[in-house]
Amino acid sequence: MQTPLKRYSAFAIAREALRDHTGWQRAWRKAQPKKRYDVVIVGAGGHGLATAYYLGKNFGITNIAILEKGWLGGGNTGRNTTIIRSNYLQDPSAAIYEKARSLYETMSQDLNYNVMFSPRGVMMLAQTEHEVRGYQRTAHANALQGVATEFISAQRVKELVPIMNINGPRYPVLGALWQPRGGSARHDAVAWGYARACSAMGMDIIQKCEVTAVRQEGGKVKGVTTSKGDIDCEKLGLVVAGHSGALADMAGFRLPLESVPLQALVSEPIKPCMDVVVMANTVHGYMSQSDKGEMVIGGGTDAFNSYTQRGSFHHLEETVRALVETFPMISRLKMLRHWGGIVDVTGDRSPILSKAPLEGCFVNCGWGTGGFKAIPGSGWGFAELMARGQSPLTDEFGLNRFTEGRFIDESVAAGVAH
């Protein structure tokens, strides 16, 4: 029988401190698969877990299994640089990313789990005249979309980030697109918070359970074959990021995306020196400081397809070399670790949240290099799509846009979409 979840509170911390922390419950139950569920979600990353959570919270659907081939949050959700912003150019993008950003503001209270959302402000540096014009245009578009951003001067950039050299010889800083309520959150905590809430609603999160086939009958989804046996379901959600092409193949259709490695690295921890997130898209580097003091650095994607969760060395070298011009002080830092994730990139750099050609099957992917920030908005919209067959948040992100030529082009607008 399911034990009701004890809420985390200041009182609980004090109580557990007095009894040697012996009274904490497991955050989520260890589950074994049942024969049948109303909904099966493949992929226990942020998007899969958020989808399950909002199916339960907003639509009362809780007979759900979330199947994960590794450990939950071990894909891109636990590997990203956690930048959260919603300053996209196109209206459908601004709508879903702003929905996500606003849900991040109250996520800790909603999930009763501290996701350490830190709205410290995100700036995207303009280092060419082209970028100045582009970001000014985005600031105007954002004003119409109700997204609070502004184009700020180079002097204001320097005031906000004193460690920056704004007079670099190749790429001087000419201004920036500034979103004061953008920021970051603890990526693992987002996955863990959703997992705990899903488990509390009675959903089964089954780890080390790889989906190896999608079973269908009469053109309709019947279930999946997994490393733990067959599981039947009414509706199937494929939410597997870099492995979306492989899962679509199992379900008998193709997706217009490519899987490529994207990598990040962190320095040794240092004293607080930068309290905003900085993205430099021309030189292709972005940086923030973690609560532990490490400088968290990300670069661009590799130019080849791969399923290995690491990137090539020359990318690391190029990213660091480019950032050193803008942040000379990082040349004296030791880099501690680097890692990669497999991101699923579409041609227009916008996600796919869509019914699949197979009836009863839905697909949520294509978040590429920038889907962490979207997790709650994506879960909210995709749950509505799965429950009701339509959602205003996902309408424009259907697969049909690729055949009808209705692209949502964020590639030129964003340059890089972290």
Using CB under 6 A, list all residues that contact ligand FAD.
Answer: 42-48, 67-70, 74-77, 79-83, 210-211, 239-241, 243, 247, 262-264, 298, 341, 343, 367, 369-373, 418
**Closest to ligand FAD by CB, 154 or 365:** 365
Please, is 222 exposed, middle or buried when counting C-beta atoms within 10 Å of its C-beta (0-12, 13-18, 19+)? middle
Nearest residue to 80 via CA among 272, 233, 263: 263
Q: Smallest gap, in angstroms, from Cβ of residue 24 to ligand FAD?
A: 25
* 60 Cβ neighbours under 8 A, 6+ residues apart: none
**Closest to ligand FAD by CB, 42 or 126:** 42
The Cα 102–Cα 141 span in angstroms is: 18
Check: CB of residue 184 under 8 Å from CB of residue 83.
yes
Q: Smallest gap, in angstroms, from Cβ of residue 104 to ligand FAD?
A: 11
Q: Which residue in this structure is represented by tokens 């000379």?
A: 328
Q: Smallest gap, in angstroms, from Cβ of residue 350 to ligand FAD?
A: 12
**Closest to ligand FAD by CB, 75 or 193:** 75
**Closest to ligand FAD by CB, 47 or 355:** 47
Q: Smallest gap, in angstroms, from Cβ of residue 21 to ligand FAD?
A: 29
**Closest to ligand FAD by CB, 195 or 200:** 195
Q: By Cβ distance, which residue is nearest to ligand FAD?
A: 45
Please give the angle made by the CA atoms of 224, 357 and 364, to the nearest 5 degrees: 70
SS3 of residue 257 by DSSP: strand
**Closest to ligand FAD by CB, 143 or 213:** 213
Q: Smallest gap, in angstroms, from Cβ of residue 15 to ligand FAD?
A: 34
Edge to edge, the sheet with strand 294-301 lists: 150-152, 175-179, 122-126, 277-280, 285-289, 294-301, 257-269, 335-346
**Closest to ligand FAD by CB, 126 or 205:** 205
Q: What is the CA radius of gyration of the chain?
A: 21
Q: How many residues does the chain have?
A: 418
Look up residue 336 and give its two tokens: 């501690």
Q: Smallest gap, in angstroms, from Cβ of residue 265 to ligand FAD?
A: 9
**Closest to ligand FAD by CB, 195 or 333:** 195
Nearest residue to 295 via CA among 275, 325, 315: 275
**Closest to ligand FAD by CB, 45 or 175:** 45
Q: Smallest gap, in angstroms, from Cβ of residue 4 to ligand FAD?
A: 28
What is the DSSP secondary-structure string of 193-254? HHHHHHHHTT-EEE-S--EEEEEEETTEEEEEEETTEEEEEEEEEE--GGGHHHHHHHHT--
Look up residue 184 and give its two tokens: 């970051």
**Closest to ligand FAD by CB, 78 or 154:** 78
Q: Smallest gap, in angstroms, from Cβ of residue 85 to ligand FAD?
A: 8
For the stretch 70-86, what's the b/e string if a residue is b when 16 or more beta carbons lie within 10 angstroms of its beta carbon? eebbbbbbbbbbbbbbb
Phi, psi (rounded to 5 degrees) for 336: -90, -50
Q: Smallest gap, in angstroms, from Cβ of residue 368 to ligand FAD?
A: 6
Q: Smallest gap, in angstroms, from Cβ of residue 401 to ligand FAD?
A: 19
Look up residue 323 and give its two tokens: 């950032």
**Closest to ligand FAD by CB, 52 or 67:** 67
Nearest residue to 238 via CA among 352, 407, 403, 99: 352
Q: Smallest gap, in angstroms, from Cβ of residue 188 to ligand FAD?
A: 11
Look up residue 112 and give its two tokens: 């009763």
